[in-house]
């Protein structure tokens, strides 16, 4: 249930939640988030985007005091006057990913696999290109062996024969939680992250830094990779109207679609109470 007063921390997913379908964030949304910060409430951008997209992320949520990126694996404090401070940086060893993929392919057949290994600005993903991937300009074809020769921030996988939710359910039955965290973010691929990495554990780093209890945190999201932070946050869990059915079911409230500035409309009303 929504608590009286205002939350002490607000975190929002970006793509599909704060960011509109045309890949923009409205001036209205930026203005409302500035008002949130002016009210003394820290803002967190909680996204599946990896650190290679840090500058894009900062532009999309300019008011953010913290960034929880790579689905929770990279946490950055942007509030330090001396410059950004990395509070968390988790990686999945290539040999662990190799065994995991072999086990999964034994059960579901050949996988299309991409890995995110570099945190350099706009670094490409490596691996098997698939035409459904929406960002072909940030991709570099590499062999499976090359992709697995290093630690990775996260990996992406899909099959031709399974819906992403079906593949995710199967992968979770095969891959132990202590080996990797599995989720999906609406891109048609399951996402394979280091064990213990999700948006809730990333936000926990922020909350501990600020001395904020999860019961005082308000979160917004749209896809299954947002469910861990929905389970963790206690002030309110708000889904946008275009959210995945599982996210809508887990939400305390549903706001307008991302294309209708649903996060900003909710926060505007909250600040005006």
Tens-place pLDDT, residues 169-186 = 999 999 999 999 999 999
Residue 1 falls inside a structural domain: no
Last residue of a domain, one of 163, 193, 223: 193
Is the distance from CB of 198 to CB of 181 less than 8 angstroms? Answer: yes
Residue-level length of the chain: 273
Choosing from 193, 208, 237, the residue where a domain stops is 193
| pLDDT per position as a tens digit, 238-251 | 999 999 999 999 99
pLDDT for 108 beyond 50:
yes
Average pLDDT over residues 187-198: 97
Mean pLDDT of the chain: 95
> 129 is in which domain, residue-wise?
94-193
Asked if residue 4 belongs to a domain, the reply is no
Task: Looking at the structure, tell me whether residues 178 and 204 fall in a common domain.
Answer: no
**CATH code of the domain containing 145:** 3.30.1240.10
- Per-residue pLDDT band for 113 (boundaries 50, 70, 90) equals very high
10 Å CB burial of residue 149 (0-12, 13-18, 19+) is: middle
Q: What is the pLDDT of residue 4?
A: 64
- Cα 227 from Cα 264, distance rounded (Å): 20
- Same domain, yes or no, for 98 and 81? no
Whether the CB-CB separation of 75 and 87 falls below 8 Å is answered with yes
Residue 240, SS3?
A: strand
Q: Locate 151 and state its tokens.
A: 């630690």
Confidence band for 2, pLDDT divided at 50, 70 and 90: very low
Query: For the chain, how many structural domains are there in total?
Result: 2
48 and 108 housed in the same domain: no
CB neighbourhood size of 83 (10 A): 7
Last-in-domain residue among 140, 158, 193: 193
Is residue 82 packed enough to be buried (19+ CB in 10 Å), middle (13-18) or exposed (0-12)? exposed
Is it the case that residue 110 has pLDDT exceeding 90?
Answer: yes
> What's the pLDDT score for residue 1?
42
């Amino acid at each position: 249930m929504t608590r009286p007063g205002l939350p002490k921390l607000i975190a929002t997913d970006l793509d599909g939640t704060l960011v509109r379908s045309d890949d923009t964030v409205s001036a209205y949304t930026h203005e409302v988030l500035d008002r949130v910060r002016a009210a003394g409430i820290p803002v967190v951008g909680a996204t599946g985007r990896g650190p290679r997209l840090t500058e894009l992320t900062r532009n999309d949520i300019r008011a953010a005091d913290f960034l929880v990126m790579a689905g929770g694996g990279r946490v950055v404090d942007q509030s330090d006057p001396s410059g950004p401070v990395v509070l968390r940086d988790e990686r999945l060893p290539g040999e662990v990913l190799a065994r995991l993929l072999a086990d999964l392919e034994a059960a579901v057949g050949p996988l299309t696999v991409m890995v995110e290994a570099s945190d350099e600005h706009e670094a490409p993903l490596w691996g098997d290109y698939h035409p459904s991937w929406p960002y072909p300009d940030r991709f570099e074809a590499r062999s499976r062996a090359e992709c697995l020769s290093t630690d990775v921030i996260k990996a992406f996988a899909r099959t031709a024969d399974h819906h992403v939710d079906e593949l995710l359910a199967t992968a979770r039955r095969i891959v132990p939680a202590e080996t990797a965290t599995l989720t999906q973010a609406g891109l048609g691929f399951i996402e394979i992250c280091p064990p213990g990495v999700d948006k809730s554990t990333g936000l926990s780093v922020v909350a501990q830094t600020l001395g904020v209890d999860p019961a005082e945190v308000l979160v917004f999201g749209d896809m299954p990779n947002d469910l861990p932070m929905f389970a963790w946050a206690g002030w309110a869990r708000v889904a946008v109207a275009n959210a995945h059915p599982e996210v809508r079911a887990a939400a305390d409230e549903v706001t307008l679609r991302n294309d209708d500035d649903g996060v900003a409309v909710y926060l505007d009303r909250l600040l005006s109470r």
